[in-house]
Amino acid sequence: MKVKYHGHACFELEAKTGRIIIDPFLCGNPTADVTPVNFSELDAILISHGHSDHFGDAIELAKKTGAVIISTFELASFAEKFGVNVHTMHIGGKYQFPFATIKLTQALHGSGIPKGDGTFHYGGLACGFLIQMEGKWLYHAGDTGLFGDMELIGKHYNLELAMLPIGDNFSMGPEDAIIAAQMLRPKTVIPMHYNTFPVIKQDGQAFIDELQRQVPECRGILLKAGQVLEI
């Protein structure tokens, strides 16, 4: 299957069973390589939390492609008001869709949906995603601080890939992402959620080098927007 990076926390997963996009922050994202115009076929849109750099273009993409929006009960219910297909879930719950099996994990982060005037729609809890496609388990951590139960995920899921934030300030930074990799024990780590804005500037290659030094059994891959990893 193909894992394509679109910058920030946005990944497109393409498998034999279908195509999924996670956290489609495209318009207004200085690092994105695509806009909603580039998408015609999409089965699902996964949203980790209500912040605009994750909710992004979800509604426009759902309207354009007919894809189902999958998120927490609060966030998916909010999206439903725009007349799009949604599937509500919550943390700890797993559901077998035709295109993938998806389980919501905890994420230590907020999920308010900005109204644009400094106030928020209630967004419930932020989440991460465990996704199984073609028999492989992938973990997209969402925006999160380090948490000890990553050890549980690593123990019970044989992760092919973990997409981990390294930007610091709003989420894990590089040091904590390396501890996360030690607990999650994935075959491959892709860093995300960095260099989009000055406040989350990080040296991606330095993270990969340090990951290889501290967790040599885990492969670190740096993707630029538009690049694809075949797993």
Write out the residues near Mn ion by the rule CB under 5 A.
53, 143
Cβ closest to Ni ion, residue 65 vs residue 144: 144
Q: How far is the CB of 95 from Ni ion (least distance, A)?
A: 24
Tokens of 157: 């899921």
Candidates 6, 8, 19, 51; binder of Ni ion (CB under 5 A) is 51
Cβ closest to Mn ion, residue 9 vs residue 131: 9
Which of Mn ion, Ni ion, none interacts with 103 (beta carbon under 5 to 8 A by kind)? none
Q: Which residue is nearest to Ni ion (CB)?
A: 51
Q: How far is the CB of 193 from Mn ion (least distance, A)?
A: 6
Cβ closest to Ni ion, residue 200 vs residue 208: 200
Q: How far is the CB of 48 from Ni ion (least distance, A)?
A: 8
What is the helix (H) or strand (E) element at residue 99, kind and residue range? none
Which of Mn ion, Ni ion, none interacts with 74 (beta carbon under 5 to 8 A by kind)? none
Candidates 57, 143, 160, 168; binder of Ni ion (CB under 5 A) is 143
CA distance 127 to 79: 16
Which of Ni ion, Mn ion, none interacts with 160 (beta carbon under 5 to 8 A by kind)? none
Cβ closest to Ni ion, residue 6 vs residue 51: 51
- CA distances, 75 to each of 46, 90, 159, 161, 168 (Å): 10, 10, 26, 25, 24
**Nearest C-alpha neighbor of 24 from the set 67, 48, 55, 3:** 55
Q: What would you report as the CA-atom Rg of the chain, rounded to the nearest whole angstrom?
A: 16
Which of Mn ion, Ni ion, none interacts with 57 (beta carbon under 5 to 8 A by kind)? none
Classify the phi-psi angles of 137: left when phi > 0, otherwise alpha if psi is within -120 to 50, otherwise beta: beta
Q: How far is the CB of 90 from Mn ion (least distance, A)?
A: 20
CA 169 to chain centre: 17
Query: At 204, which amino acid appears?
Result: G
Q: Which residues pair with 45 in a beta bridge?
A: 21, 69
CB 144 within 8 A of CB 171: yes
Cβ closest to Mn ion, residue 43 vs residue 143: 143
Q: How far is the CB of 9 from Ni ion (least distance, A)?
A: 8
Sign of CA dihedral 156, 178, 3, 104: positive
Q: How far is the CB of 22 from Mn ion (least distance, A)?
A: 12
Q: Does 140 bind Ni ion (CB under 5 A)?
A: no
CB 22 within 8 A of CB 129: yes
The residues that touch Ni ion, with contacts defined as CB under 5 A, are 51, 143
